[in-house]
Amino acid sequence: MVETLSIAVIGAPGVGKTSIIRQFIYNDFSEVYTPTRTRYVYRPSVILNGNMYELKILDVPPISSFPSSSSQEWLDLRCRGVRNANAYILVYDICCVESFEYVKMIRQQIVEHREGSSSEVPILVVGNKRDLQRQRFMPRRAVSVLVKKTWKCGYVECSAKFNWHVVLLFKELLGIAVARGMRQNHTAIRLQGALQRNRCTIM
């Protein structure tokens, strides 16, 4: 039996969400920007501390807000599964202050719109495009302190382009999620599929 964890990846358009996911799963990066128009689900398997997990990674297309109710989630195909995710990766571009404002808004809405103790869901804020750090709008330390101390979220900076800290960010999030017991259903092990080349990451 393996545990399944669903992770919703949310952020403003062009910040590198799809690039981070594809680098993590396929070791692949494209300079060409292809906007994600529909919700896409990736299902890699990972091994962390000797345990296997099936991840359900939702690449969420641009949404104006976090769905405030289950009915809103069902009416908007882009949001399916977003409210009940076991963890969130909120991506912004370290050179784009608007993308940080977007992450700030979504984080607030997750806390407000998820009910009861589920509002304490693990959230990792990710500053992408670290390779362009000369153009960053705020020093790393200042953002890190704000996100960790005030928002009570994890914080990692990465570069999807150079595959820098990409595995680390998933490892960090998974570590928090597992520690908090954020498990979903148990599914039958599908070893063959999981162990296909590039589908199982040992962290």
- Distance of closest approach, residue 115 Cβ to ligand GDP, in angstroms: 28
Q: Is 127 in the site for ligand GDP (CB under 6 A)?
A: no
Q: Is 33 in the site for ligand GDP (CB under 6 A)?
A: yes
Q: How far apart are CA 114 and CA 133, in angstroms?
A: 34
Using the rule CB under 5 A, give the single segment among 28-36, 71-79, 120-128, 181-189 that binds Mg ion: 28-36
Q: Where in 128-147 is the site for ligand GDP (CB under 6 A)?
A: 128-129, 131-132
Q: Which is nearer to ligand GDP, 159 or 201 (CB)?
A: 159
Does residue 92 contact residue 127 with C-beta atoms inside 8 Å?
yes
Q: Is 112 in the site for ligand GDP (CB under 6 A)?
A: no
Q: How far apart are CA 135 and CA 87, in angstroms?
A: 29
Q: Is 60 in the site for ligand GDP (CB under 6 A)?
A: no
- Binding stretches for Mg ion (CB under 5 A): 17-18, 36
Note the residues at the interface with ligand GDP (CB under 6 A).
11, 13-19, 30-31, 33, 35-36, 128-129, 131-132, 159-161
